[in-house]
Copies of this chain bind each other. A is one copy, B any other.
Amino acid sequence: MAEEDTARHRARMQRKKAVIEERIARASLERGVFLLHTGSGKGKSSAAFGVLARALGHGMNAVVVQFVKSRSDTGEEAFFRRHPAVRWYVMGEGFTWETQDPARDAAAARAAWETARAALTDPGVALVILDELTYAFKYHWLDLEEALAVFRARPFHQHLIVTGRAAPAALVEAADTVTEMGLVKHAFQAGVKAMPGIEW
């Protein structure tokens, strides 16, 4: 790069640095955040588990409640269950097209919610992950308003992550950080099997 270009680059980057530093200085609140991962692309649950690893690395503890998944042979569960700071609950009955029984689905969701509520009212829990919770609202297994009230009343420094497709608008409204995981393409569409270590 020519010397003049380098000088121009430096000037541009100095301006960018000043803007970014001002924004960082303005962000001064310290409190628990509510992350919502929605959309139809891959990454909603895995991003939650990545944050879990990050939190554990800072010495935090966590409760994970899986609302739909019923399988207990996933890599994430095998990996995190042995960690002493994690309590991991698989409380789903499988996808609703597997059970074909709405009463059973609803009962499983209500039982999972009681476990979630116990964590959400416990100031000793630093991070709560409610994996695939959104389906419980979609199928009316749980009352959204009741859940939002529990989220709002949770301990001040407790972080919360909710995952699942098609998050209702009120949930998006209530969350602090919302990512829409958009499906651009998926290996499955090209005939690749769900690979262990990647999909489960």
Contacts and interface: CB of A to CB of B under 8 A. Distances in A.
Interface string A14-52: 101100100110111111110111010111011111111
B41 A179 contact: yes
A198 B97 contact: no
Contacts of A39: 182
Contacts of A187: 33, 176-177
B33 A58 contact: no
Contacts of A1: 102-103
A76 B53 contact: yes
A58 B197 contact: yes
Residue of A10, A99, A195 most packed against chain B (CB within 10 A): A195
A60 B98 CA distance: 30
Interface stretch (A77-85, A114-122, A145-153): A77-85
Interface string A176-200: 1111111111111011111111101
Copies in the complex: 2
A194 B21 CA distance: 13
A55 interface: yes
Interface string A64-107: 00000000001111111000000000000000111111110000
B103 A181 contact: no
Contacts of A198: 33, 35, 51, 54-55, 159
A35 B42 contact: yes
A52 B26 CA distance: 34
A9 interface: yes
16 contacts: A9-B102, A10-B100, A17-B97, A17-B100, A28-B191, A33-B192, A41-B178, A43-B50, A50-B50, A51-B198, A54-B75, A54-B197, A54-B200, A57-B78, A176-B190, A179-B184
